[in-house]
């Protein structure tokens, strides 16, 4: 009797119309909740995996180029040799603002002509040495030149390059990315500056204008980026002055030739005038003589 009474509440519950729909809805809610939780957990795992991959990528080659750019802007120009203290500048940069003595010392004599030095010539007491990149960059030129010496050009920023001339045994090619201190070649010689012996001719240029390397060694790339040129570079001014000095004697010669020509012309004009005057005078004298003869003949009559 008591067991039947216990079964009656449950039987009464299932006999209600909303009992089974409520159970279905509750089951569906539980299942949907489980599915959503599973998906959320899967997304978290996927995100963790992606983040881990990106972190690995950041430490890999994917960020090499930006790192190079950042390092390049933080680098300072250095001398293109392993030990700066052993480097000897055998010929300095020609600067129009320097003293006459310094300017004369910065002239390169070739074929009985003087040429302003557009860089600095570095030697190690005549010994062979490796030529190193003064700053990280990209090799843009590798040229052989028997007169001026073989040349390597490295671009560090738009319009800013370094040049290494009078070198031999190239260690790089055009398009190579080089780091500061990396070997580019070995020091050599050139016919243009034989007195320098084994050396490297080092130039720093901005927008193809040569600047004094000594003023920018141990200074950052940004220092040169801020420089603007309001006038011609020192070397171009010097060349213009040399050309002007060369043209002056020609002008003097031309003036002397013109003067001589004018004198000759004046002399010829004067001689012609004298001849004409002489002819006129002779004609006048003849007329006078004829007039006298006529008077004499009339008197005789």
Mean pLDDT for the chain overall: 75
Angle between the N-to-C axes of helices 2-15 and 19-58, in degrees from 0 to 180, rounded to the nearest 10: 70
Among 98, 289, 291, 75, smallest CA distance to 212 is for: 98
- pLDDT of 74: 79
User: pLDDT tens digits, residue range 225-268?
Assistant: 888 876 455 444 444 444 444 343 443 444 444 444 444 445 45
**Chain position carrying tokens 């030990």:** 83
- pLDDT of 195: 92
- pLDDT of 229: 76
User: pLDDT tens digits, residue range 275-287?
Assistant: 554 444 444 444 4
- pLDDT of 134: 98
- pLDDT of 136: 97
User: pLDDT tens digits, residue range 165-192?
Assistant: 999 999 999 999 999 999 999 999 999 9
- pLDDT of 38: 79
User: pLDDT tens digits, residue range 136-161?
Assistant: 999 999 999 989 999 999 999 989 99
Cα–Cα dist 186/168, whole Å: 5
CB atoms within 10 A of CB 87: 20
- Give ∠ CA 296-300-301 in degrees, rounded to 5: 120
161 touches 205 (CB < 8 A) = yes
Among 72, 37, 47, 60, smallest CA distance to 225 is for: 72
- pLDDT of 56: 44
User: pLDDT tens digits, residue range 45-97?
Assistant: 555 555 444 444 444 444 445 544 555 557 999 999 999 999 999 999 999 89
179 touches 133 (CB < 8 A) = yes
209 touches 224 (CB < 8 A) = no
- pLDDT of 230: 64
User: Model-level pTM?
Assistant: 0.57
């Amino acid at each position: 009797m008591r067991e039947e009474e216990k079964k009656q509440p449950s039987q009464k519950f299932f006999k209600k119309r909303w009992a089974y729909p409520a159970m279905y809805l509750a089951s569906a809610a539980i299942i949907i909740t489980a599915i959503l939780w599973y998906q959320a957990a899967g997304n978290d795992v996927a995100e963790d995996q992606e983040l881990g991959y990106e972190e690995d990528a950041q430490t890999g080659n994917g960020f090499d180029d930006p790192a190079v750019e950042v390092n390049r802007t933080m680098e300072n120009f250095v001398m293109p040799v392993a030990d700066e203290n052993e480097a000897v500048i055998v010929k300095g940069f020609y600067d129009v603002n320097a003293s006459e003595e310094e300017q004369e010392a910065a002239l390169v004599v070739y074929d009985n002509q003087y040429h302003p030095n557009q860089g600095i010539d570095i030697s190690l007491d005549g010994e062979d040495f490796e030529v190193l990149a003064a700053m990280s960059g990209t090799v843009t030129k590798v040229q052989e030149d028997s007169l001026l010496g073989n040349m390597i050009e490295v671009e560090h920023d738009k319009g800013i390059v370094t040049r290494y001339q009078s070198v031999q045994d190239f260690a790089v090619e055009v398009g190579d990315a080089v780091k500061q201190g990396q070997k580019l070649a070995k020091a050599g010689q050139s016919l243009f500056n034989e007195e320098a012996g084994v050396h490297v001719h080092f130039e720093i240029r901005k927008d193809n204008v040569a600047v004094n390397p000594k003023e920018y060694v141990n200074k950052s790339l940004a220092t040169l980026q801020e420089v603007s040129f309001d006038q011609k570079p020192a070397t171009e001014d010097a060349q213009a002055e040399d050309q002007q000095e060369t043209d002056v004697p020609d002008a003097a010669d031309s003036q002397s030739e013109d003067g001589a020509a004018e004198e000759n012309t004046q002399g010829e004009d004067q001689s012609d005038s004298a001849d004409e005057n002489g002819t006129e005078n002779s004609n006048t004298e003849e007329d006078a003589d004829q007039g006298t003869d006529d008077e004499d003949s009339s008197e005789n009559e």
